[in-house]
Structure 1
Amino acid sequence: MSLALVFGLAGCATASASIPGEDAITIGVKIDQPGLGRKENGVFRGFEVDVGSYIARRLGASKVTFKEVRSDNREQKLEAHSVDLVLAPYSITPDRANLVTFAGPYYVAHQDVMVKRGDTRIRTIRDLNGRKMCQASGSVSTERVVNGLGIATNLVPASSYSDCVAKLRAGAVDAVSTGDLVLAGFAAPDVQILNVPFTDERYGVGMRKGDIDACEKVNRAITTMYQDGTASRLLRKWFGSSGLKLVEEVPQFEGCS
């Protein structure tokens, strides 16, 4: 299914109208990141699930379907038309923007560090030097530490951030570093976020490359989501008890290209 068909204006009375038979949108989300995207007993739940549903409804879809994506297959899922939109902690980067079109961001998170509670060896990002840090497959977060900041960590590969947190709890790694919303979803008595943010993580809505019309419509939906109070409500619903300082203003968009 093409987003151009779903969102096309031909034969439509308004921008939110849908062409009969093409009013369904499939959204790719993570299924193992508490707070953002998780599948429990066959039901998808999380902030990005709710945001994706809101955007799809604003675009006129009467049916919204969710499918699992991973950090290492988001582009492939879009190219294969397995999903139409991706909301799966998808940080907007120049390299990724060469492969997909991004709307948004719908939230600007900040990269931070999670360690086992009581670990006094790591207090700042620089303390990761020489420590074992988890590297989730397909994620760019470790690059920001190793290449961006020049910190010589010992990278330990993992399939996902849920796998990373499991390795942290088991003592296989000393730290996990990624966007604070991702880390907040894993918050528990035995682990803690250091609250030492050092980058911006612009979470975008990924779609097939070149679908500018759909991108602009998604941006308008995101703007409305913040203006009508839905964004604030959803952020507080999923992360209000995490201790993070939540940003409830409309993010500055990157521009569709």
Structure 2
Amino acid sequence: MNLRKVTAASAVALTLALTATACGGDSDSGSGSGGGGKVTIGIKVDQPGLGQETPDGYKGFDIDVAKYVAKQLGYGESDITWKEAPSKERENLLRRGDVDFIVATYSITDQRKEKVSFAGPYFLAHQDLLIRTKDNIKSGDDLNKKKLCSVTGSTSAQNVKKKFAPDAQLQEYGGYSECLSGLESGAVDALTTDDSILAGYAAQQQYQGKFKLAGLNLSDEHYGIGIKKGDTELQGKINAALKKMVDDGSWEKAVKANFGPANYDFEPAPQITEQG
């Protein structure tokens, strides 16, 4: 995958190539080889503080990271095409070339690295529980026999069942908003995912005073930027961009801007480990 800006000469060649193939299929996705000076980035659109669609555009820490990386790769904000990347579809989006890279609370795991590659990590979160303010869950054991909600394709709920609460009744929904509705109505007893995501929801105006974090560090989640399997060239460029973001202070500024209202006690920027 080549994510460099297209020069004037190559833009002409690209235009001719696209014209020649226009009748043979969809050639305007903008992903893959750079797409004529465009870049397609996979994101979440329903995670306050991280990646959320708002009337003013996409907002959140992951969005800020994606914009910074894209700029370092030679793309302005107007060159970015945003594409929703649900948890269960992230590997498929990269495999098919529907996106150039993914910045979407994408935890680096050995299982996922069998299908895709990562740059980073760029953030360290911990798995936790979101519960109703009146409830009290002090450990994973307290979840046994209770209804636990998570999003289809996420590793969070499976981690809880495997390591902490094998008798928890797992409820998997398509999005976090459904889990939040279930938690508010009493249909489920807890929502589990990363504390960074939960903090964003708890800080929303409509949920303030209703929910709280249980305060359990059930796992370490290293967020990486997902790329196509084996693309070491892009991996190196993104790693360099992430390092610069930390070194020039932009990383910490973005964390505080997006998580500050939730009083989220964030970890320092992690060391980059994904190489070659």
TM-score strictly above 0.5: yes
Matched, 1:110 2:130: no
Conserved in 1, the CA contact under 8 Å of 2:118 and 2:227? yes
2:119 partner SS? strand
- Structure with the greater alpha carbon radius of gyration: 2
Structure 1 partner of 2:172: 157
Q: CA–CA distance in 2 between the matches of 1:124 and 1:131?
A: 13
Return the structure number with greater helix share. 2
Output aligned runs, 1:37-76, within 5 Å.
Answer: 37-41=51-55, 43-62=57-76, 63-76=79-92
Q: CA–CA distance in 2 between the matches of 1:79 and 1:132?
A: 34
- Deviation at residue 241 of structure 1 after TM alignment: 2.3
**1:174 partner amino acid:** D
Q: CA–CA distance in 2 between the matches of 1:37 and 1:189?
A: 23
- Deviation at residue 149 of structure 1 after TM alignment: 3.1
- Deviation at residue 42 of structure 1 after TM alignment: 6.8
Structure 1 partner of 2:157: 142
Q: Residue 171 of structure 1 is aligned with which of 169, 186, 193? A: 186
Structure 2 partner of 1:28: 42
The C-alpha deviation readout for 1:236-257, integer Å capped at 9, x for no partner, is 00101212211233x1223234
Q: CA–CA distance in 1 between the matches of 2:66 and 2:118?
A: 14
Matched, 1:100 2:87: no
TM (norm. structure 1) is 0.89
TM (norm. structure 2) is 0.83
Conserved in 2, the CA contact under 8 Å of 1:168 and 1:175? yes
1:103 partner SS? strand
Question: Structure 2 regions of 5+ residues with no counterpart?
Answer: 12-33, 203-207
Structure 1 partner of 2:252: 232
**1:252 partner amino acid:** Q
Conserved in 2, the CA contact under 8 Å of 1:142 and 1:177? yes
Alignment RMSD (CA, Å): 1.5
Q: CA–CA distance in 2 between the matches of 1:231 and 1:210?
A: 26
Output aligned runs, 1:142-221, within 5 Å.
Answer: 142-149=157-164, 151-187=166-202, 188-221=208-241
Q: CA–CA distance in 2 between the matches of 1:90 and 1:160?
A: 15
**1:243 partner amino acid:** N
